[in-house]
Each structure stands twice: as structure tokens, then as C-alpha cells.
Amino acid sequence: MQEYDDRVLEVFLEKQLDLFPEKVAETKEEALDFLCECMAVVVNGKKEVWEYFDEEGIDISQMEEDEILEADEVFDLEDGRFLIVEC
């Protein structure tokens, strides 16, 4: 099971409207439940973001690094890690 620390939960709560039309969580507990339900993934670095999408079978061959890192479902945790939420 994926672990979601306070930084992950805080960034998701702050930026969730970048991905969803309305808030899906108001508290850290709700964010934790939502991320667990979605099986969101925390990866360590840009390379692992690419590897994740490649493993999921998403064609990223024509995308630039910045494009994939700016995708709505990719949240920069600003500590070298990224949260990927696909629901």
C-alpha cells in the first residue's frame, strides 16, 4: 500500500481543483481516503513519472518532459517527488 505523508496530502488539498471541477476532499483525512481509493502513486523524480506512464501503457513518446510534468494528474510535491492521481 502506498504511503501518503503530510506533504502529499497538503499539496493534493491545495491543487485538487487543477484536476477536478470541484473539491473531492476538504481535510487531510478525506484526502487520504480519496488517494487510497484512487490508488494514487508517489514517485521519486521526473524519471519515475515517465516510467509510471510508460508502464501504464500511456503513449508519451511524442511528449516533452515539461508536458508530462504539467499534466493535470501530476502534482509536483516540490521536494523532488511527484504525486500521480488517475481516477
Task: Look at 66 and 24; give whichever has higher pLDDT.
Answer: 24
Matching residue, cell 510535491: 77
User: For residues 28 and 26, what is the distance between their CA atoms, to the nearest angstrom?
Assistant: 7
Closest among 30, 25, 11 to 84, alpha carbons compared: 11
Grid cell in block for residue 12: 493534493
Domain limits of the chain? Answer: 6-84
pLDDT for residue 72: 93
Q: What is the mean pLDDT of the chain?
A: 94
